Amino acid sequence: MKIGVMDSGIGGLNVLAALIKYRCGDGYVYLSDGKNLPYGEKSGEELKQIALRGVRRLVERGANAVVFGCNTLSVAALDFVRKRVVPPVFGLLPRPDLLNGKGLLLCTPTTALYLPNVSPNVCVLTPASLAGLIDKEYPKTALTEEYLSPLLLPYGDCEEVYLGCSHYSFAKSVFKRVLPKAKLLDGAENLAALVSAVLPEKGSKNPSIELLFTGEDQTERYLCILSSLLK
């Protein structure tokens, strides 16, 4: 079983690492769509066409299933793509329902348009530039912290923070410094568990990895990040 994973940049590496840990496939093809980074400011129609092109490219590379490692792509295009391709397609959908206490949900502006009903005790924050900043700077965090800290300070009493963009998981150290009492949640593990449960066969402990880029080839950087996530 070969699984394709798609994101605009490094964010989906969190999802890829979770899929590998759950042994979902024998091989993975990761499409980093840097040409269209960031997804979070694009319209739903743009994202549908981007997603369809990406899935078709992954299928051409042998993917038997595809996973969107991006919340924005998932909420805007998952149903659209599922009706137009044969392989199963899974999405990283935001889960504000997982926030039980006084919570904060961070997501892109486009993802916010598709959110289900959010509890009155949950605030929604849409830091438009954050995903692109993280993608460019990581593993450094100085600029990310400079941008994010003032936005988070009013939410110092939050008990839980849901990171509704896979890029945001790479800023966990910043969240922990600014909101030290808050529990951080994201959907990567839940998505990997779902994929593992649905796909018929258990994958390899040492799967093959193929990286594709629509923008600058960053193979060495991506492999280094993925290796750190798998430790």
Given 24, 70, 107, 158, which residue is catalytic? 70
Q: How far apart are CA 86 and CA 18, in angstroms?
A: 24
Q: What single string gives the DSSP state of each residue in 87-133?
A: S-EEE----GGG--SSEEEE--HHHHHT-----TTEEEE--TTHHHH
Amino acid found at 27: G
208 CB neighbour count, 10 Å cutoff: 11
Angle at 187 between CA 57 and CA 124, to 5 degrees: 110
Options 24, 107, 158, 165, the catalytic residue: 165
Active-site annotation holds for 70: yes
- Please give the radius of gyration of the chain, using alpha carbons only, rounded to the nearest integer: 17
Which residues are marked as active site?
Answer: 70, 165
